[in-house]
Structure 1
Amino acid sequence: MKYHIVTIWLLEAPIEVVYETISQSMNWPQWWGNVKQVENLESGDANGIGNIRRYTWQGFLPYQLRFDICVTRLEPLIFIEGIASGDLEGIGCWSFSYDKNITVVNYTWHVHTTSFWMNLLELFAYPLIKWNHNLVMRKGGEALAQKLNARLVCVTHRT
């Protein structure tokens, strides 16, 4: 099953702090409860291109997802893009902008699941899986705001 999901967080926080916190994904398990583990597999070049990390996620449904992200494009304070492989395959991109004391964080996820059981489950539970993803992302925005002692103004999702 293919997914195209966009999550947007609006935070009252400086873009530099928001970008730095998101770009340091090794630290996500410390503040984002749904991220169970992040392992550094490859460091990449001096700019972070080619960096590969393995992420283990636990949403609100009784399964975990494990996938690797290889950073393919990165422009500090503007975007981080990577290719996913593992339980999910595709492309994810964080983009950042700032306007009137609000940092806009846009996460776009173009992926498909790879395991037989997940593809079978999706035939029956697609809305539940989208709900799970959206809740994980909402909790991430709330956790980021709490970590930064900032206000999360809004969270929106588009599919």
Structure 2
Amino acid sequence: MSAIREARPGDRAAIRTVEERAFGRSDEADLVEALAAAGDDLLELVAQEDGRIVGHVMFTRMAVRDGGDSFAAVALAPLAVLPEFQKTGIGSALVLEAHRRLRDAGETLAVVLGHPAYYSRFGYRHDRAARFESVFQCAELMALAWGDAPLEGRLVYAPAFGAEASA
């Protein structure tokens, strides 16, 4: 089983490689770098096999705004595993460990834009996110609540997600 630990500054190049290879492009790697550089990486974990980073997950701070009220939440983006290590449980282990740490820290709402069949296994549901206003609103926008969390409002992401998402 992979060893899971918090990401360190010296992991940036290996994380970029994981992101680029997992997605076959640089968009997610660029997003990770922008979020980390801005200090918006609330929780970032890596999975290692024989000392090599083979998986990565990042959660960033976001807010749910409803009128004059603002509620803290987290966004999962992105989750990546090297192609040769996919379908081995590494992605699930990363998400489950991150969820445990987030719940222990008092977080109550997580949002993800991703494949419903995959993320539903962790409790993410579109019907939980359907009433949120978001530039990313679609069937792939899902939420998971661990406690008392808002049911509606505008999702406000970190600036690296784009001007429309962070306004």
Shared fold by TM > 0.5?
no
Structure of greater relative contact order (alpha carbons < 8 Å, 6+ residues apart): 1
Q: Tell me which protein shows more helix as a share of its residues.
A: 2
Name the TM-score, length of structure 1 as normaliser.
0.37
